[in-house]
């Protein structure tokens, strides 16, 4: 069995699976929307996890990242793929509170669960805890975590649907 | 190992892999562009084959199907996936001759090989031979043929990139 | 001289200029962004005014209305056309505060002045004052006010650029 | 009365009306589609004329120019604006014959009349007569001719709908 070797078009950022990957860090969240309990990465073992980090006032997230996450959620079977949103606010903190996020998720009809990344213990550090743990460069960031909890892809910015669909299906096809 | 179970969004036509599939019929062509020899399906055994049937004056082919075939060609490694175009003219025959097709392929910068489907032996039948053999309903039609030459998907009309990337990668991941 | 008679395509809502129009109601705002003073409609007499009413968490405003208002601002000369935004919050009030709006305008790089519509004197009425005065049905709403302060067009929802550019130019071309 | 002064966005080519303009050259055509007689520019005196020059195998014409011409035809009243297509073949002559053009116009549902520009009297010159007379640089080219038959705008390549709608309405609003 061979995984999909995905070639990178010149005009797009590289998008290929890390053959092994490090264990994906756990999530540190402060509340959740769209689900009545805290979602832990370990709860999702056995599924491919698509972790979509965004800010509600980030234009690229609103125009590209979140609609793509919705398409992933609508395309793949829930038994194979879990789509999880993470609100990683690292700027304009007073403008993107959970109250505002809740209205945003309602208006944009986001169907998958969204956790709020926990603020740093250091009050002077604007970067929230999970964003820091994953070393995300900004929003939108997309992370693919395999059935065994390993971080196999981490992309910042726009990713094409065709390559992303291929990457997710390759992880689904892997033996546990 | 499990293949991707692709859920169908309500607004799109079903797109899922046939678990076994019948042997894909051979191609009957009359000339080729973009390559200096006739391409037979049997030459491509071992690769996943994306067969894209189109007409040069079909708006949905020009706006959706051909750009998507170009993206597939640019995204997947040539060792894994062969993209092949088939010009299946079933109407306006005098308007879509090989001379016109050649200029079209040049202007639209089509990079993959394109064969011209052979006219029916029955001069009164407008449907060309390969189109008939596959039972295509019209253009654009997209067919996915696995490494063993079996027809695993046959779609008429628009298909979403995400589901299509997943279907191709699932075929790539299958054991020979 | 004849104004442009704009025909309505079957798939779009009617978009044509009221030949006379009633005087546009004054604006009642509580603060402004992108400008250091309150903008009154009377200050703009002699220019064509494009009043764009929106909510920062309204998807159709973010995807269609605001980008269109930006294009109007970038296309027409400031001496001819004044583009003015109005934040008419009528739902999710706690989520769309001026603090959130300020970050939104920064992130979406809105270049024209935006006023915050004043809340109703009746605390039980969610509709703000100017929205009520104009009888707006929702967001996005687009109003065209002529050089003499008369309301010549009032559209709710999406309007095509071609017809809108024609309507604005027709108002510019009118004698004062 | 002042005409619309249209500012040029940094990312788009200049698009503004020539205040006077030279008389638009007559058209030299060899056949017409979508109408049962030859259309002369002089027949259209009193209307604003939108002349859209294209080639059926030019991707920018198919993706941008022709859909825009269709929108103009659907938006403005026939008594104000005449949209006329001109097939100005200057390359791949054998591929873009009238037979192919007719099927193209049918498939793309072009609703306005289209004339075929006459080949040059000099058989070695690939540029057809009307294209030469107007000094067009390529396809798509868009020309706006006022009610008095003067050429007021001549653009090569993509033009934005908003500015184009404004330019057409400005010409409509001019006194005869």
Q: Convert the pLDDT of each residue in B23-74 to its tens digit.
A: 999 999 999 999 999 999 999 999 999 999 999 999 999 999 999 999 999 9
Query: CA–CA separation, A80 vs A97, rounded Å?
Result: 32
- A156 within 8 A of A136, measured Cβ to Cβ: yes
Q: Would you call B100 and D95 a contact, using CB atoms and an 8 Å cutoff?
A: yes
CA distance B156 to D46: 48
Q: What is the mean pLDDT of residues B103-131?
A: 97
Shortest distance between the Cα of B89 and any Cα of chain D, in A, equals: 12
CA of A105 to nearest chain C CA: how many angstroms apart?
A: 9
> Looking at per-residue confidence, does A1 or A17 come out higher?
A17
Neighbours of A63 (CB within 10 A): 15
| Chains in contact with A, counting 3 or more C-beta pairs less than 8 Å apart as contact | B, C
Tokens of A60: 């690229």
B7:A173 CB<8 A: no
> What residues are paired with D29 via a beta bridge?
D117
The reply to whether residue D170 touches residue C165, judged by beta carbons under 8 angstroms, is no
As beta bridge partners, residue B87 has B54, B116
Residue spans of chain C under pLDDT 50: 1-15
Q: Which residues of B touch A79 (CB under 8 A)?
A: 5
Neighbours of chain B (3+ CB pairs under 8 A): A, D
Q: Which residues of A touch B147 (CB under 8 A)?
A: none
- Per-residue tokens: D123: 């058989």
Residue whose structure tokens are 């038994």:
A79
- Tell me the pairing of strands C48-54 and C81-87: parallel
Q: Which pLDDT belongs to residue B176?
A: 59
Q: Is D49 helix (H, G, I), strand (E, B) or coil?
A: strand
| Contact pairs from chain A to chain B, CB under 8 Å | 122
- Structure confidence at residue A2 as a pLDDT band (50, 70, 90): very low
The whole-angstrom separation of Cα D108 and Cα B55 is 13
Q: Is B37 exposed, middle or buried (0-12, 13-18, 19+ CB in 10 A)?
A: exposed
Min Cα distance D73 → chain C (Å) is 9
Q: Name chain C contacts of A97, Cβ cutoff 8 Å.
A: 100
Within 8 A of A74 by CB-CB distance, chain B residues are: 7, 9
Average pLDDT for residues A65-83, to the nearest whole number?
96
Is D touching C (3+ C-beta pairs, cut-off 8 A)?
Answer: yes
Report which of C120, C103, C121, C119 is spatially closest to residue C57, judged by C-alpha positions: C103
Q: Which two tokens stand for residue D111?
A: 């609703």
Q: Any idea what DSSP says for residue A176?
A: -
Contact A49, A145 (CB under 8 A): yes
Is there a contact between D43 and D29 (Cβ–Cβ < 8 Å)? Answer: no
- Which site among D33, D57, D60 would you substitute to test the B interface, given the most B Cβ atoms closer than 10 Å to its Cβ? D57
- Is there a contact between D95 and B103 (Cβ–Cβ < 8 Å)? yes
Q: What is the pLDDT, as a whole number, of residue C176?
A: 59
Residue that has been written with the tokens 């990079």 in this structure: B111
Q: Tell me, what DSSP letter sits at residue A63? A: I
The answer on pLDDT for A8 being more than 70 is no
> For residue B138, what are the CA distances in angstroms to A51, B58, B132, C101?
39, 10, 10, 50
Residue of C nearest to A59 (CA): C108
C169 with D170: Cβ contact below 8 A: yes
| Chain C residue closest in CA terms to D78 | C7
Q: How far apart are the CA of B167 and the nearest CA of chain D, in angstroms? A: 28
* Contact exists between C and B (3 or more beta carbon pairs < 8 Å): no
- Rounded Cα gap, residues A171 and A147, in angstroms: 8
Mean pLDDT of B63-89: 96
- Residue B12 CB coordination number (10 Å): 14
SS3 content of chain A, % helix, strand, coil (to 5): 30, 20, 50
Categorize the per-residue pLDDT at B175 as very low, low, confident or very high, splitting at 50, 70 and 90. confident
pLDDT at A139: 97
pLDDT tens profile C135-165: 999 999 999 999 999 999 999 999 999 999 9
Sorted by sequence, the CB contacts under 8 Å of residue D126 that are 6+ apart come out as D90, D91, D93, D120
- What pLDDT sits at residue C74? 94
State percent of chain A over pLDDT 70: 91
pLDDT, position B41: 97
Binding partners of C (≥3 Cβ pairs within 8 A): A, D
pLDDT above 70 for B6:
no
pLDDT at A176: 59
DSSP class of residue A108?
Answer: T
Task: Name the region of D67 (left: φ>0; alpha: ψ -120 to 50; beta: rest).
Answer: alpha
What residue spans of A55-160 are helical by DSSP H? 59-60, 66-75, 98-107, 129-134
C159 vs C53: CA distance, rounded Å: 14
Interchain proximity A169–B174, CB inside 8 Å:
no
Indicate whether B110 pLDDT > 90: yes
Residue D77: partners with Cβ closer than 8 Å, 6 or more residues away: C5, C6, C7
Is the pLDDT assigned to residue B128 strictly greater than 70?
yes
Q: How far is C145 from chain A (nearest CA, A)?
A: 30
pLDDT at B16: 81
CA–CA min distance D45, chain B (Å) = 34
Minimum Cα–Cα distance from B102: chain D residue? D95
Q: Chain C residue with minimal CA distance to D170? A: C169
Task: Note the pLDDT of residue D4.
Answer: 42
Helix segments in chain C, DSSP class H: 59-60, 66-75, 98-107, 129-134, 161-173
Question: What is the rounded distance in angstroms from the CA atom of residue C166 to the CA atom of residue D76?
Answer: 9
Q: Which pLDDT band holds residue B173 (cuts at 50, 70, 90)?
A: very high
Mean pLDDT over residues A115-143, rounded?
97
Determine the residue among D63, D104, D138 to mutate to test chain B binding: the one whose Cβ has the most chain B Cβ atoms within 10 Å. D104
Note the pLDDT of residue C14. 35
User: Is C57 buried (19+), middle (13-18) or exposed (0-12) by CB count in 10 A?
Assistant: buried
Minimal CA–CA distance to D117: which of D35, D32, D43?
Answer: D32
Each residue's pLDDT expressed in tens, for chain D with a length of 176 residues: 333 444 333 333 234 899 999 999 999 999 999 999 999 999 999 999 999 999 999 999 999 999 999 999 999 999 999 999 999 999 999 999 999 999 999 999 999 999 999 999 999 999 999 999 999 999 999 999 999 999 999 999 999 999 999 999 999 999 75
**Of C162, C163, C173, which is closest to D170 when you measure between CB atoms?**
C173
- B→A interface, C-beta within 8 Å: 1-7, 9, 68, 71-72, 74-77, 79-80, 160-170, 172-175
Tokens linked to D126 = 């690939």
pLDDT at D175: 74
Subunit partners of chain D (3 or more CB pairs within 8 A): B, C
What average pLDDT does the segment A150-156 reach? 96
Question: Is the predicted pLDDT of residue A14 greater than 80, yes or no?
Answer: no
CA distance D14 to D65: 17
Nearest alpha carbon to residue C113 among C49, C176, C62, C160: C49
Cα of D168 vs its chain's centroid, Å: 13
Q: Which chain C residues are Cβ-neighbours of A103 within 8 angstroms? A: 57, 92, 94-96
């Amino acid at each position: 069995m061979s995984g999909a070797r995905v070639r990178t078009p010149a005009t797009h950022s590289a998008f290929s699976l890390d053959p092994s990957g490090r264990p994906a860090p756990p999530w540190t969240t402060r509340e959740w929307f769209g689900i009545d309990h805290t979602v832990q990465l370990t709860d999702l073992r056995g599924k491919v996890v698509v972790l979509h980090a965004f800010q509600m006032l980030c234009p690229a997230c609103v125009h590209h990242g979140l609609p793509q996450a919705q398409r992933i959620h609508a395309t793949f079977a829930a038994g194979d793929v879990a789509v999880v949103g993470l609100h990683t606010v690292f700027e304009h903190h007073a403008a993107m509170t959970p109250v505002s996020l809740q209205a945003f998720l309602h208006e944009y009809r986001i169907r998958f669960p969204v956790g709020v990344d926990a603020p740093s213990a250091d009050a002077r550090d604007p970067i929230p805890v999970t964003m820091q743990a994953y070393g995300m460069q900004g929003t939108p960031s997309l992370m693919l975590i395999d059935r065994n909890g390993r971080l196999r892809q981490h992309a910042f910015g726009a990713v094409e649907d065709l390559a992303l669909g291929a990457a997710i299906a390759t992880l689904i096809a892997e033996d546990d």
